[in-house]
């Protein structure tokens, strides 16, 4: 087993232990938002507090709300990996489930039909956990070098899933960030701290109304 694989296994184990620990020590009445995604969610290349889930937590705390944010982002995660991981992640109480997977599928040119099937399975598992969990689906875009047909089919996966499952829909997770050199790290894929702040601001517009009734 190479070094990178060992690091990923350790990271998943640590995240899981933290989730279980938080669930055990928190009051049952505390509300929670889980961000389920890949390296964008994990805050690749940045400190943990610079990733958008942590920035959302700051906004929540500023309002004095008893809501905890769980960052379940895993670098390199595909939708297929998400299907295998989600039941493990769902071993806790969740009020809002933010689904931000798909970017790595697009980068790898995975058949959009497979991406859609995987995301549907994740959505169904969340609903099976608790039909009252509010699911927010974030759309993703495929790189243009894969051709117009592929990018269109890939883009449509997310809007179709949102319509078919009656989900809250964020059309593009990286809106106003993707393609902006100054908002992305040298790899051109992962947002800088400023880019993460823009993502957090967009997500906050969606999530804040859902917190109106939170004591």
Tokens read off for 128: 């099976």
CATH of the domain at 150: 3.40.50.1110
| 190 given a catalytic annotation | yes
Residue 3 falls inside a structural domain: no
| 149 given a catalytic annotation | no
Residue 9 falls inside a structural domain: no
| 202 given a catalytic annotation | no
Residue 4 falls inside a structural domain: no
Contact 11, 39 (CB under 8 A): no
Task: Judge whether residue 26 has pLDDT over 60.
Answer: no
Return the pLDDT at 137: 98
What pTM does this model have? 0.87
- Catalytic residue, chosen from 39, 75, 105, 202, is 39
Q: How confident is the model at residue 212 (pLDDT cuts 50, 70, 90)?
A: confident
Residue 38: which residues within 8 A CB-CB, separation 6 or more? 73, 74, 75, 76, 77, 78, 100, 101, 103, 104
Distances in whole angstroms, Cα of residue 110 to Cα of each of 116, 142, 188: 10, 10, 20
Return the pLDDT at 20: 43
* The total number of structural domains that make up the chain: 1
Return the pLDDT at 17: 43
Tell me which residue range forms the domain holding 57: 31-211
* 3-class secondary structure, 92: coil
Residue 6 falls inside a structural domain: no
Residue 23 falls inside a structural domain: no
Residue 111 falls inside a structural domain: yes
Residue 53 falls inside a structural domain: yes
Return the pLDDT at 96: 98
Return the pLDDT at 67: 97
What is the tens place of the pLDDT at every residue in 82-140?
999 999 999 999 999 999 999 999 999 999 999 999 999 999 999 999 999 999 999 99
What is the tens place of the pLDDT at every residue in 30-43?
799 999 999 999 99
- Catalytic residue, chosen from 29, 149, 187, 213, is 187
Residue 184 falls inside a structural domain: yes
């Amino acid at each position: 087993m190479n070094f990178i694989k060992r690091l990923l296994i350790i990271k998943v184990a640590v995240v899981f232990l933290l989730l279980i620990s938080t669930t055990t020590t928190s009051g049952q009445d505390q509300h929670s938002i889980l961000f389920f995604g890949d390296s964008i969610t994990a805050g690749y290349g940045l400190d943990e507090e610079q990733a958008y889930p942590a920035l959302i937590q700051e906004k929540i705390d500023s309002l004095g709300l008893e809501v905890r944010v769980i960052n379940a982002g895993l670098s390199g995660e595909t939708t297929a990996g998400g299907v295998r991981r989600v039941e493990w992640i769902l071993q806790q109480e969740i009020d809002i489930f933010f689904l931000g997977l798909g970017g790595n599928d697009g980068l790898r040119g995975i058949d959009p039909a497979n991406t859609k099937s995987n995301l549907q399975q994740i959505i169904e598992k969340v609903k099976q956990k608790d039909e009252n969990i509010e699911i927010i689906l974030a759309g993703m875009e495929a790189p243009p070098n894969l051709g117009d047909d592929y990018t269109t089919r890939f883009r449509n996966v997310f809007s179709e899933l949102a319509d078919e499952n009656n989900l809250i829909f964020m059309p593009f997770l990286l809106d106003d960030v993707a393609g902006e050199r100054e908002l992305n790290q040298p790899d051109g894929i992962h947002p800088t701290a400023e880019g993460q702040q823009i993502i957090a601001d967009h997500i906050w517009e969606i999530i804040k109304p859902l917190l109106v009734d939170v004591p």
